[in-house]
Amino acid sequence: MEKIDKQFIEFRNVSVLRQDRFILNDVNLSIASDENVAVIGPNGSGKSTFIKLITGNIYPSYTGDNTLCRLFGRDKWNISDLRQSLGIVTSELQNKFQTDITGFETVLSGFFSSVGIAKNHTVTLQMEEKARKMIEFLEVSRLKQHSIDTMSSGEARRFLIARALVNEPKVLVLDEPSNSLDIASAAKLHAVMRKIAAAGTKIILVTHLASDIIPEINRFIFFKDGKVFADGERAKVFTSEKLSQLFDMDVELTQKNGFCWLNGK
Ligand SMILES: Nc1ncnc2c1ncn2[C@@H]1O[C@H](COP(=O)(O)OP(=O)(O)OP(=O)(O)O)[C@@H](O)[C@H]1O
């Protein structure tokens, strides 16, 4: 498929209504396909709903003249095409891979947007070669013949990132990437994220954890109560003051060499 090289996201007046409540409320934002961005918000602020919109799983509740929900410059997408332009790794996806396929098959399945390889899938030598390269890049080659359901969360997540990267997406969306990882596994994952960013794939990191922020991220979008609460560059938005307002409690942000810690006061 032809890769579309434009704005990644253009949202104008985007709202999502569920059970008489706006779970996203009049969201206006643009993200270019050359930005590394963190989307941060407390539990229930609308982050997962935002991910569902950008992966084509749901649509805005209103589609009037003022509403624009455009991805890579297009209003309408074939979902499997969209998923090939956009790499995505979420806990939901990881749950689908609680199955006894190998790490290698997991990565190959990225070419088909499937969970594993089916009889009607034609796996080419080029696909195998690409999958091997990505597994190497993610530094999990020794595990490629292991069954994914026997791997640790951190190992399985790296296979899923490799799966997302086989299609060479312009943008990789990572949802709570260090969820359930211990401190060492999280640090290894952050190193891998930095490697991906250095190789030119842009990262959209969706998280409530400041510790997931890597130095390459310089734009911060805060969601609160279904709205964009703040949006801007690191120095302006990613501050103790703004984060305290975001989480409705006094927090202190410590930053060193682009990495961060957040402590309640
Ligand atoms: N299908 C639905 N029907 C009703 N309410 C919903 C639905 N989906 C989400 N919500 C509500 O919308 C709000 C935003 O949910 P969402 O999952 O997007 O938040 P989140 O920021 O991802 O939260 P978390 O960090 O806990 O995953 C929550 O209050 C949630 O209960």
d(CA 30, CA 214): 21
Q: What is the pLDDT of residue 1?
A: 44
**Which of 19, 25, 27, 47 for mutating ligand 1's site (highest number of atoms within 8 Å of CB)?**
47
Q: What is the mean pLDDT of residues 176-190?
A: 89
Q: What is the mean pLDDT of residues 112-139?
A: 94
Q: What is the mean pLDDT of residues 156-163?
A: 96
The amino acid present at 244, given as its one-letter code, is S
48 lines ligand 1 (CB under 6 A): yes
Q: What is the ipTM of this complex?
A: 0.96
d(CA 123, CA 109): 9
Say if strands 21-32 and 7-18 run parallel, antiparallel, or are unpaired: antiparallel
Q: What is the pLDDT of residue 191?
A: 93
Whole-number Å distance, alpha carbon 245 to ligand 1 midpoint, is 20
* Beta strand ranges found along the chain (DSSP E): 7-18, 21-32, 37-40, 68-71, 86-89, 171-175, 202-207, 219-224, 227-233, 251-256, 259-264
Q: In angstroms, what CA-CA distances link 109 with 29, 34, 158, 172, 257?
A: 32, 26, 14, 17, 37
**Which of 19, 21, 23, 173 for mutating ligand 1's site (highest number of atoms within 8 Å of CB)?**
23
178 lines ligand 1 (CB under 6 A): no
Q: What is the pLDDT of residue 5?
A: 54
190 lines ligand 1 (CB under 6 A): no
Residue 134 structure tokens: 């990505």
Length of the chain as a residue count: 265
For residue range 77-92, what is the model confidence (pLDDT) as tens digits? 777 777 778 899 998 8
Q: What is the pLDDT of residue 208?
A: 85
Q: In angstroms, what CA-CA distances link 152 with 115, 196, 211?
A: 18, 21, 20
Confidence at 264, pLDDT banded by 50, 70, 90: confident
55 lines ligand 1 (CB under 6 A): no
Say if strands 86-89 and 171-175 run parallel, antiparallel, or are unpaired: parallel
Q: What is the mean pLDDT of residues 189-214?
A: 93
Indicate yes or no: pTM above 0.80: yes
Above 80 in pLDDT, residue 104?
A: yes
Q: 206 near 47, Cβ under 8 Å?
A: yes
**Which of 27, 48, 212, 221 for mutating ligand 1's site (highest number of atoms within 8 Å of CB)?**
48
130 lines ligand 1 (CB under 6 A): no
Nearest CA to ligand 1 atom 3: 18
Pick 204 or 64 by higher pLDDT: 204
Nearest CA to ligand 1 atom 24: 43
Q: What is the mean pLDDT of residues 216-234?
A: 96
Q: What is the mean pLDDT of residues 2-25?
A: 85
d(CA 223, CA 231): 9
Q: Which of 221, 245, 219 is nearest to 234 (CA)?
A: 219
The fold adopted by the segment(s) 7-264 is Rossmann fold (3.40.50)
Q: Which of 169, 167, 162 is nearest to 189 (CA)?
A: 162
Q: In angstroms, what CA-CA distances link 166 with 63, 88, 138?
A: 34, 12, 12
18 lines ligand 1 (CB under 6 A): yes
Domain range summary for the chain, segments of one domain joined by +: 7-264
45 lines ligand 1 (CB under 6 A): yes
